[in-house]
Structure 1
Amino acid sequence: MSKTRQQILILHLADSCLESDTVAWALYDGAKAKNELQMNTGDSKVPLYPSVLDAMRDGWNVIQLPALPLYRTGAEHELGHLPYEYVLERKVTVL
């Protein structure tokens, strides 16, 4: 009997365009067994997908778009979180 499980992919892009370059990423795989390791920071120097659009073409569904940042005058270059975070998901079949 097969079941479906959810995978969550978080991609941080260089800007708000869905075709812009991925600069950071994380994958949470609900299809992996409990004792299998999830992806960790630094596991790969190459992103899973070069852009959100490439992930969509491979079957990922976008479930969250980033709120565009509001930069205050004089604070444009302050450090903080990565502002262009997209959350994607897909269902996979496990046996």
Structure 2
Amino acid sequence: MANERQQLLILHLAMPDLDSHTVAWALYDGALPAGQLQMNTGDQNEPPYKSVIDAMRNGWFVIQLAPAPTYLRGAEHESGHLPYEYVLERRVAVS
């Protein structure tokens, strides 16, 4: 009998458009056996998907849209977190 496990994919895009290109990512895979390492930031040179739309076409569901960033006057060029973060989810069968 197969069980389902959740996978979470976090994609940071260059722009708020869901078809914009991925600039950073992380994958958390509940289907991996205990003790097996998860993908960490910087483990791969290429993102798993070029955009959120590409991930959706491969069965991922968007569960969080990025809020519009707020830029304070005079601080528009300050560095900080990546503003266009999308959280995606899918369930995979494991036996």
TM-score, normalised with respect to structure 1: 0.97
CA apart distance, 1:63: 0.1
Unpaired runs of 5+ residues, structure 2, are: none
- Residue 52 in 1 paired to residue 52 in 2? yes
Q: Distance in 2 between matches of 1:36 and 1:94?
A: 15
| Matching residue's letter, 2:54 | D
Report the aligned-residue RMSD. Answer: 0.6
User: 1:22-68 CA deviation, whole Å, 9 max, x = no partner?
Assistant: 00000000000011110012110100000000000000000000110
Counterpart check, 1:76 vs 2:67: no
Superposed displacement of residue 86, structure 1: 0.1
Could you tell me the percent identity over the aligned residues? 66
Structure 1 SS opposite 2:55: helix
Partner residue, 2:33 = 33
Which runs of no fewer than 5 residues in structure 1 stay unpaired? none
TM-score (norm 2): 0.97
SS in 1 for 2:54: helix
Counterpart-to-counterpart distance in 2, 1:56 and 1:78: 32
* Shift, 1:71, TM fit: 1.0
